[in-house]
Chains A and B, each alone.
Chain A
Amino acid sequence: EDQVTQSPEALRLQEGESSSLNCSYTVSGLRGLFWYRQDPGKGPEFLFTLYSAGEEKEKERLKATLTKKESFLHITAPKPEDSATYLCAVKAAGNKLTFGGGTRVLVKP
């Protein structure tokens, strides 16, 4: 069974304090690892898809990396508007995504 574990569960950062979120996964035949951002009361917003170990993608202050066992979401010099829950998900065979529990990020000014 596919499993996704995110850590830490919650992260409090000062504005400008860079940090990384971890997503560890166990899956048979990874066909994509997805990162989403979710604001309170809203649906998840797509950020990145990574397909193979060594791949990296960037968007503004966010950078996602992938190894064979885990993915990292690096937040560089975060701002308060980066406060959200970040979700990681994996896709194996078929179209089902298995989600991790998420990391709640709070960036204080």
Chain B
Amino acid sequence: SAVISQKPSRDICQRGTSLTIQCQVDSQVTMMFWYRQQPGQSLTLIATANQGSEATYESGFVIDKFPISRPNLTFSTLTVSNMSPEDSSIYLCSVMGSGELFFGEGSRLTVL
């Protein structure tokens, strides 16, 4: 299984600011995924990050709000832009390996 590191692990942010979350994987992977887990809820896929091409966003998520970079096969970033309290969530990076999806520890954002 892949080892996935996320930074920051948690942060408290002010309304209207933006925060970038980093995801580092210990092996090269074709696809990386970004999920959101709102308080008390399950996981929702935000987008799929492909190396060398634009990210593919799920319904309800847009690039202006959640820009994603994928500069190489081991790294991706997710930016949460112009944050509001409704963006308070855990953001999780994940990768597919051997047909299974593995997750990082998550980045817990609190927006005041």
Contact = CB atoms under 8 A, between A and B. Distances in A.
Interface in B58-112: 58, 92, 94, 96, 99-106, 108
A39 B103 CA distance: 13
Interface size class of B (residues with CB under 8 A): 20 to 34
A72 interface: no
Interface size class of A (residues with CB under 8 A): 10 to 19
A73 interface: no
A101 B41 contact: yes
B105 A32 contact: no
Given A34-B101, A95-B96, A44 B31 contact: no
Interface in A74-92: 87, 89
Interface of B: 1, 4, 31, 33, 41-45, 48, 58, 92, 94, 96, 99-106, 108
Interface of A: 32, 34, 36, 41-46, 49, 87, 89, 95-97, 99-102
